[in-house]
Amino acid sequence: CKILRCNSEYVAATLNLRGSNRNAAYCNALRSYSHCTRKTARTCRGDLAYHSAVHGIEDLMIQNNCSKEGPTSPPRPRPPAPNHQGFESLDICNYEKSFLYKRGQRPSYQHCAAFGDPHIRTFHDDFHTCRVEGSWPLLDNDYLFVQATSSPVVKGSNATVTSKLTIIFKNMKECIDQKVYQAEIDNLPAAFEDGSVNGGERPGGSSLAIRERSPGRHVEIRAEYIGTTIAIRQAGRQLSFSIRAAEEVARAFTEEQDLQLCVGGCPRSQRISRSECFRGREATETARALCKEMLPVEDVYFQSCVFDVVISGDANFTMAAHGALEDARVFLPNAEKLHIFQ
């Protein structure tokens, strides 16, 4: 099945289209793409990438008012391959490039965060405040396992904060060895548990890298081989977690891996109403004033900030909500979803 060749020729033909004849050239490229897939139909009929390409072409031709009959793009000259393995060996550990090469389009991304009390923003933009004392999985899929351990924000309180994070990047072929990252309050290392700062000795080891953005306060882990970036922060006496993950990666789990706070949010029995725990008007107004300085928009990040400052009495929690909002600003594929109002 040579569907990958069809995909790459289509991407090359549409990469730099500009000017007044852009639409005509785009239709030519789509017709060439369609013709190429027809030639591979017999050998590719069991291939998911082939069926995805066929349906995608039909949709794009309708959207762009392209007729099925007409001129096609001239074939592109083939440069000599730098080695016998070609693209696959060079970019298999760069998820975005590999996805573009195979599918002819960029991947979709999703965002999840856990901060403060903890408050959970799920991949589906649901927002929960949770008690979840003990250890709970934020993610558990074929590529990643992330566990958050929580303890009471103050003795005897229902509200909890994340005190420890464990992240496991699972072994992946020629890209990375399995790597474990652990953070605890006042211990935010800029290295994996084995002391390394990348994915190991494999050819794609550099596709997993860790760096310190602010010593002891903010660490970023980039996992290019799965199109994922993770931010871990400490603000006051709590840790926060934010992730931007390729949609395909976020969905790569079985029915048995059903408890993931980033996917389903908190179980109902573990949810707290942010309005029930306020301790008097004066404390609430003070918290509102502190949070307003950092978070001018009164969305769920602002509401969460007020809740955390009132419950804990710690003004540092304004930084937790602000950090989560800044991560969302960077990570969210759709800026219109930045603010959630409840």
pLDDT digits (tens, 9 = 90+) for 103-116: 888 999 999 999 99
Average pLDDT of the chain, as a whole number: 88
Q: 278 — phi, psi (to 5°)?
A: -70, 140
d(CA 225, CA 91): 9
User: In one letter, which amino acid is 224?
Assistant: E
d(CA 126, CA 156): 28
Q: With DSSP H G I counted as helix, E B as strand and the rest as coil, what are the percentages for the chain, rounded to 5?
A: 35, 25, 40
Confidence of residue 42 (pLDDT cuts 50, 70, 90): confident
Q: Is the pLDDT of residue 185 over 90?
A: yes
Q: Is the pLDDT of residue 61 over 70?
A: yes
pLDDT digits (tens, 9 = 90+) for 125-134: 999 998 878 8
Confidence of residue 296 (pLDDT cuts 50, 70, 90): very high
Which residues, in sequence order, are CB contacts of 127 under 8 Å at separation 6+? 119, 120, 121, 300, 340, 342
137: left (phi over 0), alpha (psi -120 to 50) or beta: beta
SS3 146: strand
Residue carrying the six token digits 């992330």: 146
Q: Is the pLDDT of residue 310 over 70?
A: yes
Highest mean pLDDT (candidates 27-36, 216-225, 261-270): 216-225
Q: Is the pLDDT of residue 1 over 50?
A: yes
